[in-house]
Structure 1
């Protein structure tokens, strides 16, 4: 599966990816979102175990395919598994904020699913740490950011030159 995404991706799409903070843009960057979303589940510890293992295998497949964007998107899904399960552990029903006031609701440790959701969160957390500390991920991240910076500079110059030419053309009239 990682191979198909790698082959269907063009350079401009790859360079448009932004790592962002935490889970930012995890549900908006295609084609990765559609590939990874079906693997992401955290309802019970058993389901979280299967899900996090499947996502970890995908992370490693992206590593083997030399696809940093795929690795980072997978890391984000794993992180989102950890944070969403934790939200359900802390708040019955997963609602963190009061609809009417927008204030954060009090945390609960006595609701029915608290222990299961906390365990699910910890399962994802272990994989999230593995992702963040993966030496190949760290090397590829550094290389990607360097390449992206050069790409952005090169393509921003091209846009600036086009804008300047267009501006001169308009001003000649």
Structure 2
């Protein structure tokens, strides 16, 4: 699924059958209407912002679960995962830049930004709770099996 793929013009709530779980955070900025619902909640600037953001996204996950909206649940999981991975990168690398101007990977600094490390742990706690959710795990397995 690339940027020009027509499936990103799809309303995935109306057509959930075309959604593929994918890996990691794939599709987080493209799968609608979830991007518009989740991205405004997301943030990693400060610990306070991250605590509010992660809790709000987790709450949205619960709402999607109540409606049996698996695509929404998985997208909420992606935004929590993105909060964890992005803040962790800023915690290890000045400016969040993993590569230098020559494309060489920089050496991580443990912990360059202590607040970003704490932010990463806030998101990680919510991510773990979502991934450990039995209803989500079961629905994810069913989703994958239906598409084999």
**Fold match (TM-score > 0.5):** yes
Query: Partners in 2 of 1:143 and 1:44 — Cα distance?
Result: 37
> Could you say which residue in structure 2 is the equivalent of 1:165?
none
Question: Does 2:10 match 1:9?
Answer: no
> Could you say which residue in structure 2 is the equivalent of 1:89?
91
> Could you say which residue in structure 1 is the equivalent of 2:55?
53
Count of residue pairs brought into register by the alignment = 138
Q: Give secondary structure in 2 for the equivalent of 1:77.
A: helix
Query: For the aligned residues, what is the CA RMSD?
Result: 1.7
Deviation at 1:57, TM superposition (A): 0.2
Q: Gaps (5+ residues) in structure 1? A: 1-6, 150-173
Segments of 4+ in structure 1 off by > 3 A? none
Q: Give secondary structure in 2 for the equivalent of 1:46.
A: helix
> Could you say which residue in structure 1 is the equivalent of 2:109?
108
Q: Gaps (5+ residues) in structure 2? A: 1-10
When Rg is computed on C-alpha atoms for both structures, the one with the higher figure is 1
Deviation at 1:93, TM superposition (A): 0.8
Structure (1 or 2) with the greater helix fraction? 1
Q: Within 5 Å, which residues of 2 pair with 1:14-163?
A: 14-99=16-101, 101-109=102-110, 111=112, 114-149=113-148
Does the C-alpha gap of structure 1 residues 132 and 146 become closer, same or farther in structure 2, counting only changes over 3 Å? same
Deviation at 1:8, TM superposition (A): 8.2
